[in-house]
Amino acid sequence: MGEVPSKPWVVFAKVQPRLRLFCFPYAGGGSSLFRLWSNGLPPEVEVCPVYLPGREIRLNEAAFTHISPLVQTMAQVLRPHLNTPFAFFGHSMGALISFELARYLRRNYRQLPTHLFVSSHRAPQLPRLDPDTYNLPEPAFIDAVYRLGGTPQEVLQHEELLQILLPTLRADFTLCETYLYAKEEPLACPITAFGGEQDHTVSVQQLSAWREQTRGVFTLHMLPGGHFFLHKYQGLLLQALSGQLGELEH
């Protein structure tokens, strides 16, 4: 598994919150995505964005290319902070990571999040129908990233910046596209799936199939926007999250 990197995976602000919400970004994204979320969620909830290697303060570290070693390492560093009720939120790639982390914690430590929030990702048991892009030559890979829409056009057109970010983008795409689902018992915690009404990459049916992954309550929320609706419609997303997190606290 190797040594745990010295840079922090999470920066904690509250000593004893009622609940910690660990947030996992999409491919190529970073924890800055969640920096203002505390303003829109109940004060008793500590928002804990996860700093993945290969971006932001950990830009000089190599990003993981496979989900199993990432989840193993993450469980090791997060476990001391799972001494209070916690929930997971993951968008796109982050949904996959949070799901596998929840299963790893159950398997190895008999721990589970109080709630799993997954966003803009098909249910993991469903096959991926799109062709691989992670192994494409650079121009074709950049084009695939552009078409997905998560990376700002200014970044893709800035050659120097693009060359810095490309290894992490390719690693993230590798992690997602080489993922292999292994069947296990459904989780006991509730699952809420979020999707964009104009998302052409993840359908309502693919989101609804997350229902199979829980023995608890399943909820589906469709919001305006495409695959990255959480930028433009962050307020609506936080409103929906607040309602469900508020229920967890009582």
Non-local (6+) Cβ contacts of 179 within 8 A are: 67, 96, 124, 128
CA-nearest of 163, 166, 100, 181 to 133 is: 166
Tokens of 245: 């997190």
3-class secondary structure per residue, 47-108: EEECCCCCCHHHCCCCCCCCHHHHHHHHHHHHHHHCCCCEEEEEECHHHHHHHHHHHHHHHH
Residue of 31, 38, 92, 208 marked catalytic = 92
- Give me the residue label for tokens 């993922």: 179
Told to judge if 92 belongs to the known catalytic residues of this protein, a careful annotator would answer yes
Positions marked catalytic: 92
